[in-house]
Every structure is written in structure tokens, then in C-alpha cells.
Structure 1
Amino acid sequence: MSLLARFLGTWSLAREVDDARAGALLAYEGTATLAPDEAGLVYDEAGAWTAGPYAGLRATRRYLWRPASDGIAVLFHDGRPFHDFALARPAAQHLCGADTYDVTYAFALPGGWQSVWQVCGPAKDYRATTRYCRA
């Protein structure tokens, strides 16, 4: 689990979502806790929308992080594959019906890391940037 060990603990997160289709800028703040389980890490996120049409609504999500041959495999909470990436090239794609989810991670940021999702589909066109800092 040494590859995953650097992510252990609680992270403060700030997410900005630029929804081109809706013409809205949304903001979300919360925490992400990565805790060990028998196969890797459990990613638990909790927070609230602070700006945009969902302001005040709380949200949670859970993923499973697993060591992969050259990086990390991310699974949905029920074990279905979500995406995986190599640390040498921290990017991935997830297809969901007619929607395409492209993610790029940056791990060399001072004091934290970030993910940037570009989501496109018949009813979706947004970019979500999440910055993680040690809590």
C-alpha cells in the first residue's frame, strides 16, 4: 500500500464547476478522508454546495482506491470499475452512456493535489476542478 500511503488522512477540498451548458459557476467545499481497508483505501467525501443553483445542499460520495500495476485503480463504492491511471501519466477516461468523463490529476502541487474533470455529452458540458489540501 506504499503508493497509496501518501493519500492517507483527511483533506480539505474546494471544487469549482464551470457548467457551460447551464451558464453557471458552482462551488463546493468539504472534506475527503482516505482510510485503509483490506485492499487499499476508501475515499469518503462530504461537503456542501456553496455557490450556484445547489447552494446549501449537502453531498457525499465514496470510492475505493486500489493499487494497480503502475498506478491507482479507482472503483465505485460497489466495486464496479470507474477509472485507473498511471502515476507517470495521471489521466483517464470514463464512458457512461453517451457521456465522456476525462480526468487529469496533478500530484506535485505545494501542500496538496488536484483533479480536473472535463465532462461532455448530449446534456452535459462542464469542467470540475477540485483542489485538495491537508486538513
Structure 2
Amino acid sequence: MRQLSDFLGVWSLERDIRQADGSQAHFEGTARWDADDDGANYLEMGQLVMPGQGQFRSERRYRWGNDLRVYFDDGRYFHSVPADGGESAHWCDPDQYDASYDFGQWPNWSCQWTVRGPRKDYVIVGRYSFLQRFSEEDG
């Protein structure tokens, strides 16, 4: 069973994005969870490579609660990470985002998002590998 303190630190992150039409993109970078009083701030940074379109700097920020609820950086609720791994979801009208977390090879783990909507049809697979652990006191 995972808890927020398990994620604190820096992780290597690779993400593959596969569109239904067969096109693909690839992200490589790091993901970092920094603890604070009531959860952790998440920051991922890296390079997104889109064949035929080039390479771009990419960055995302989220807020993780102690209960593994994830929020967008503007405070809106995103989804809950299942502590034992498994399924989660997010509805963003008109699109459905379905996640599957796999913690079976901890501290290596993955999350797959399947996205479907009127103009969206793709799968994102993110693979995280431990780099550097922080304790809650390191903040």
C-alpha cells in the first residue's frame, strides 16, 4: 500500500504517447515530489519529442494531498491515486481519462492513461524509476 511519503524525491520519467492513428511522441525527464505541510508539490520537467515536429521543453505541475488525491496546479481536483495500484478516472467534458496505476515492481512503477473523446483517442504510458529519495523532513 503506497502513501505520499513513498513518492517524495526525484524520479526518472519516460512517457510514450500513442495516438489511435499510429503516430507517437516520447517524453524523457524527471518527476519530483517535494513535501510541505499538507501534501506535496509535483513538478515534472523534460523534453517531448514529436516525430516530424521536433523536440520541445515540457513541464507539468500538480498538487498531491496526503490522501493521494491529485489536484491541478490551479487547485481543481484531478483524480485519486489508488494506494494499492489500480484504476482511477477523470472526466473533462467532453473527454474521458481512465488511468491504471501499477506499483507491482516498486520502486519502479507506471501509470497508463487512456483518453477518449470527440477529438481525442490516445494512450499515454508513463514509467517512473527511483533516482533520489527525500524524507518528509527534507521538504
How many aligned residue pairs are there? Answer: 130
CA RMSD for the aligned pairs?
Answer: 1.7
Letter in 2 for 1:5: S
Is 2:4–2:66's contact at 8 Å kept on the other side of the alignment? Answer: yes
Change (3 A) 1:124 1:113: same
Distance in 2 (CA, whole Å) between partners of 1:76 and 1:98 is 18
| Residue segments in structure 2 that go unaligned for 5+ positions in a row | 132-139
Measured against aligned partners, the alpha-carbon deviations of 1:88-125 in whole angstroms (never above 9, x if no partner) come to 45321111111000001111215411110000000000
Matched with 2:5 is 5
The residue number in structure 2 matching 1:40 is: 39
CA contact (8 A) 2:3 2:83 kept: no
Q: After superposition, give the CA deviation of every residue in 1:50-83 in whole Å (9 maximum; x if it has no partner).
A: 3424531111000111122xxx101111211000
Once the two structures are TM-superposed, the CA of residue 4 in structure 1 deviates from its matched residue by 0.8
Query: Which of these residues, 105, 113, 116, is aligned with residue 117 of structure 1?
Result: 113
Instruction: Please tell me whether the aligned partners of residues 116 and 128 of structure 1 are also in contact (alpha carbons under 8 angstroms).
Output: yes
Measure how far apart 1:86 and its partner are: 3.0
State TM-score, norm by structure 2.
0.86
TM-score by length of 1: 0.88
Separation in 1, partners of 2:63, 2:88: 16
Tell me, what secondary structure is at the counterpart of 2:55?
coil
Structure 1 distance, partners of 2:16, 2:81, is 23
Tell me: CA distance 1:12–1:89, structure 2 relative to 1, closer, same or farther (3 Å): closer
State the 4+ residue runs in structure 1 displaced beyond 4 angstroms. none
Q: Using the aligned pairs only, state the percent identity.
A: 37
Q: 1:131 to 1:122 in 2, by over 3 A?
A: same
State the one-letter code of the partner of 2:4: L
* Partner of residue 77, structure 1: 73
- Letter matched to residue 10 of structure 1: V
